[in-house]
Structure 1
Amino acid sequence: MLSVLHLYENHFYGTIPSSLFTMPSLSDLDLSVNDLNGSINFPNSSTPSMLEYLYLGQNHFEGKIIEPISKLINLTELDLSFLNTSHPVDLSLFAPLKSLSVLYLSGNPISPASLDTSLDIPTNLESLLLQDCGIIEFPNILKNLEKLELITLSYNRIKGKIPEWLWNLPRLTTVFLKNNSLNGFEGPVDVLVNSSVKELNLEQNCFEGEIPILPLSISVLSTQYNRFTGSIPLSICNCRSLTDLLLGYNNLTGPVPQCFSNLTFVTLRKNNLEGSIPDAFYLSSSLRSLDVGHNLLTGELPRSLLNFSSLEFLVVDHNKIKDKFPFWLKALPNLQVLILSSNKFYGSISPHDQGPLGFPELRLFEISNNNFSGSLPPRYFVNWKASSLMMNEDGGLSMEQALVLNSYATIGFSGNRIEGQIPESIGLLKELIALNLSNNAFTGHIPLSFSNLSNLESLDLSSNQLSGTIPSGLGTLSFLVYINMSHNQLKGEIPQGTQITGQPKSSFEGNAGLCGLPLQETCFGTNAPPTQQPKEEEGEEEEVLNWKGVVVGYGPGVLLGLAIAHVIASYKPEWLVKIVGPNKRRSR
């Protein structure tokens, strides 16, 4: 006899056959993510439905479908999220479902009256998802849910303070309140101390004042994009279970605590933190992501970062750090993102042996606006590669990284004093999407190997001392949306291709010897030398950089910055990246 029927993510349309609800042995029915419509009708039957798991989310039902569903008294899990119905959901209609433990209602309007504490609701609820439901006040009905473990109220319009009673729910472990208008906590500063909460997301609200004292059970905390002030509480160091701490985009001051060695993800970006990054990271550390960009930090990069063999993401941009280029970081086998821009770094960025740079897994390399000097050897970009990141069944990365890390390959060297020729080996980076070498002292010709960068979308070589002609192969790069070669010593005809002739003339100004569109100077009748033709690479076997480009937006000189900003904003643990919603089943 059929007990499980999963037909989700197909293209079924029309109404649901009423006979499905009376099949004697069917206990698990999943019709979510289809194009079903109409209403739900149950045939007259003296035998109650045996359905325990019913998933109807992301369809196009019409009318009031909840009242008939409330007759399925054996339900334990019910997904009605994103139904596209205009009728507000009345939570009291679920009262007959005494065994219901999981209820997904995200994406539906909720009747405000049904959120009142005096109304009945299944008291066995363990997970309740009310994301994007147009809720404007904190639902007092939650007071009755003594077994509640997970509550999602993100993407609503809730104002005011989080009620003190929420933290008294004995089994509550996961709270998502992202993107509301909440501004504080009811109760004393230690209101959270005795809570059982382990994961707390307060992102994108209006919280002010100091970060409250956290419960010792906390494992994940995100307060990003708020107005918290004061220093990072030292009590955080007592939270031995804490792994993910995201406090970015607030107004925090004071030093960076010295107890982050036990954490996995740390984001302190865009605050007003002072002092140096603590040199107190121990060998057993599991840190994978450290972002302290846009603060007031000084000193050098702590050498104890070498103890983080799992470190993948290091961002310290827009501080006052003064140090030489950290070649020693190449000992970290998993480092994929290194952003040092807008600090006081100085000295050569070339290895002492003048060989390849030596960061085999690096995907995003941004060192702009420092005081780096020296030249790049011909083999500088040899041996760069990237391992592929596999997607898991929930759509997140198996390494708990944001999808963006599999989508960008960018290099930014602008605003330094780097000289010499641009290495031909840059042509090995076959899936590079953004390259900015502007405002340096590069000389010589533009490498012919640029023609191999078939995925390149943004190229900025402006304000250098480059000479010769522009390789004609650049005119064949079909994804090249932005190019800037202004203020060099280039000559000859600008390659004529759709992507180049569509650029503004300012992209080629400041080169007295250049002619052709988009400049007004014509090459007709002149003795301008022909543009260089690409030739086959010989010698070394190419090392392919297996990166994948994704367009996020364009404009003069901004693609690299957008890519970096998007990487920083998106690199989060999987629990923050995914939207808890339909078809996210509990194990059973």
Structure 2
Amino acid sequence: MVDSSWLLLPLLLLLLQTLSSQAALVAGGGGGSGIWIGAGAGTTPQNAPTPASPNFSREITALQAWKSAITDDPFGYMATWVGPDVCSYRGIFCAQPPGMFPESLVVAAIDLNRASLQGTLVKELSLLTDLSILHLNSNRFSGTVPNTFKDLINLSELDLSNNQLSGPFPSVTLLIPRLIYLDLRYNHFSGPISPELFTKGLDAIFLNNNLFDGQIPDNLGNSLASVITLANNKFTGELPPSLGYMGPSLKEILLLNNQLTGCIPEGVGFLTEMQVLDVSYNSLTGHLPDSISCLDEIEVLNLAHNQLSGFVPDIVCTLKSLVNLTVSFNFFSGFSQECSRLFFHAGFDFSGNCIPGKNMQRPPPECIGVPGSLNCMRTPSARPPMCGPMDQKGGFVDGSYVLGPMISSP
């Protein structure tokens, strides 16, 4: 199962190892040993030369301007940000860019995760044009993301999570040309999100635990991301039908704890490589689409705390990779024998429904007049849907729902 928390430290170390292989410095005049400059330790390795890149003065300007905007530094990071050797600053990582002399180092990564720094992000940070990674998780930065961040032309990972940033969705992040990882979790951003978010080449999109609202843009299906987390916001409206036409790269999508309504799109079965789907704690209605049976790689399927109804069918409970199926606190009226077997092989929580003869169900009066019972009415198929390619819309053939192009008989 894909870990939605994304282990940032291993990613950082992997990139730093790559960068350090480019930053091999000749030590002691003849022979040579590779030395990584900085490593966030606040000390410079012995015999390491002072950086002398064309952007050296700009890097000093950027970091010193940022230092002046830090109002609280409980762990003493800024105490090491003294003098011209920026590669010795704690949390700063330098590397030799391709095609330059070994003595020419640039600031390639900043990792200040869990530093508990208080302050703001300054516009001068855009002067760090060689920066590839900016990780600021778990600090106390407030204010907004400077518009000058669009000039960070080499930035690939931006982690601003768990801070106190606010304002509308920072659209400037979508102007960073090489960005593939965007993490804005646990801040105070509000308002709608930009449709352009799903047209960029982002591989990871983390927006959960903010105050975003409005509808999820209709072009959600254009995203090429492998992980999308929009949970714990205030999104309203229906799930975009384009959800079912996302690329095979999608492994995990978390939409829980919003205010979403309407049906689960039939096209969700197109997401044949998805491992985690969580739409719990919304107001989704109607029956489950048969196409869910095409989710062969699904491990976690959480539909809890909605207004879904009908039967939980065999085709859902026989998914081969299923580890956890949660349908609690809906209005389901029954489930099949196959679902019963999940008690012994996977987590299966069906409490708080309207299933006769089962414990921990709703009181009978609550099961009269199921909310949205006339919406998303689907006639159960006599056989499972045929799971086909994702490039075209499906349809019904001989009473079965066909995902992908319908193939006519010769």
Work out whether the TM-score is over 0.5. yes
The equivalent residue for 1:274 is: 261
Query: 1:125 aligned to 88, 107, 112, which one?
Result: 107
The change in CA–CA distance for 1:172 and 1:272 in structure 2 (over 3 A counts) is same
Q: CA deviation at 1:66?
A: 3.5
The equivalent residue for 2:226 is: 243
Q: CA deviation at 1:161?
A: 1.0
The equivalent residue for 1:90 is: 80
Question: Does the CA-based 8 Å contact 2:168-2:191 persist in structure 1?
Answer: no
Greater share of strand residues, 1 or 2? 2
Per-residue CA deviation, residues 459-482 of structure 1 (Å, 9 max, x unaligned), is: xxxxxxxxxxxxxxxxxxxxxxxx
The change in CA–CA distance for 1:165 and 1:236 in structure 2 (over 3 A counts) is farther
Which amino acid is the alignment partner of residue 339 of structure 1? Answer: T
Question: Does the CA-based 8 Å contact 2:191-2:214 persist in structure 1?
Answer: yes
Greater share of helix residues, 1 or 2? 2
| SS in structure 1 at match of 2:149 | helix
The change in CA–CA distance for 1:161 and 1:266 in structure 2 (over 3 A counts) is same
Question: Does the CA-based 8 Å contact 2:126-2:151 persist in structure 1?
Answer: no
The change in CA–CA distance for 1:96 and 1:211 in structure 2 (over 3 A counts) is closer
Q: CA deviation at 1:299?
A: 0.7
Provide the C-alpha distance between the structure 1 equivalents of 2:270 and 2:220, rounded to a whole number of angstroms: 20
Query: 2:155 aligned to 172, 182, 189, which one?
Result: 172
| SS in structure 2 at match of 1:166 | helix
The change in CA–CA distance for 1:186 and 1:206 in structure 2 (over 3 A counts) is closer
Question: Does the CA-based 8 Å contact 2:219-2:240 persist in structure 1?
Answer: no
| SS in structure 2 at match of 1:274 | strand
1:210 aligns with 2:192: yes
| SS in structure 2 at match of 1:324 | strand
Query: 1:224 aligned to 208, 233, 238, which one?
Result: 208
Question: Does the CA-based 8 Å contact 2:314-2:337 persist in structure 1?
Answer: yes
Q: CA deviation at 1:238?
A: 2.5
Which amino acid is the alignment partner of residue 222 of structure 2? Answer: N
Q: CA deviation at 1:292?
A: 0.6
1:336 aligns with 2:323: yes
The gaps in structure 1 that reach 5 residues or longer are: 1-26, 29-44, 58-64, 76-83, 107-121, 376-412, 419-588
Which amino acid is the alignment partner of residue 108 of structure 2? Answer: E
What is the RMSD of the two structures over their aligned residues, measured on CA atoms? Answer: 3.5
Q: CA deviation at 1:237?
A: 2.5
Per-residue CA deviation, residues 346-372 of structure 1 (Å, 9 max, x unaligned), is: 13x4518xxx83449843221111111
The equivalent residue for 1:345 is: 332
The change in CA–CA distance for 1:190 and 1:366 in structure 2 (over 3 A counts) is same
Q: CA deviation at 1:68?
A: 5.2
Matches within 5 A, 1:312-461: 312-347=299-334, 349=335, 351=337, 357-359=340-342, 362-374=345-357, 414-415=360-361
Per-residue CA deviation, residues 27-62 of structure 1 (Å, 9 max, x unaligned), is: 89xxxxxxxxxxxxxxxx9999955137977xxxxx
| SS in structure 1 at match of 2:119 | coil
Provide the C-alpha distance between the structure 2 equivalents of 1:92 and 1:127, rounded to a whole number of angstroms: 18
Q: CA deviation at 1:297?
A: 0.6
The equivalent residue for 1:586 is: none
The equivalent residue for 1:73 is: 49
The change in CA–CA distance for 1:417 and 1:186 in structure 2 (over 3 A counts) is closer
The equivalent residue for 2:282 is: 295
The change in CA–CA distance for 1:74 and 1:357 in structure 2 (over 3 A counts) is farther
Per-residue CA deviation, residues 321-349 of structure 1 (Å, 9 max, x unaligned), is: 012123221331000111111110113x4
The change in CA–CA distance for 1:172 and 1:337 in structure 2 (over 3 A counts) is same
Matches within 5 A, 1:20-169: 50=33, 52-53=35-36, 66=42, 69=45, 72-73=48-49, 86=76, 88-93=78-83, 95=85, 97=87, 105=91, 124-133=106-115, 134-169=117-152
The change in CA–CA distance for 1:169 and 1:55 in structure 2 (over 3 A counts) is closer
Q: CA deviation at 1:140?
A: 4.2
Q: CA deviation at 1:86?
A: 4.7
The normalised TM-score by structure 1 is 0.45
Q: CA deviation at 1:126?
A: 2.4
Provide the C-alpha distance between the structure 2 equivalents of 1:292 and 1:104, rounded to a whole number of angstroms: 41
Which amino acid is the alignment partner of residue 95 of structure 1? Answer: D
Per-residue CA deviation, residues 422-446 of structure 1 (Å, 9 max, x unaligned), is: xxxxxxxxxxxxxxxxxxxxxxxxx
Q: CA deviation at 1:127?
A: 2.1
Q: CA deviation at 1:318?
A: 0.8
The change in CA–CA distance for 1:88 and 1:145 in structure 2 (over 3 A counts) is closer
Q: Sequence identity, in percent? A: 23
The change in CA–CA distance for 1:417 and 1:139 in structure 2 (over 3 A counts) is same
| SS in structure 2 at match of 1:338 | strand
Question: Does the CA-based 8 Å contact 2:168-2:192 persist in structure 1?
Answer: no
Provide the C-alpha distance between the structure 1 equivalents of 2:105 and 2:288, rounded to a whole number of angstroms: 53
Q: CA deviation at 1:182?
A: 0.8
Which of these two proteins has the greater Rg computed from alpha carbons? 1
Which amino acid is the alignment partner of residue 277 of structure 1? Answer: I
Provide the C-alpha distance between the structure 2 equivalents of 1:232 and 1:73, rounded to a whole number of angstroms: 51
The normalised TM-score by structure 2 is 0.64
Q: Which has the higher contact order (CA 8 A, sep 6+)?
A: 2
The change in CA–CA distance for 1:299 and 1:193 in structure 2 (over 3 A counts) is farther
Provide the C-alpha distance between the structure 2 equivalents of 1:178 and 1:96, rounded to a whole number of angstroms: 25
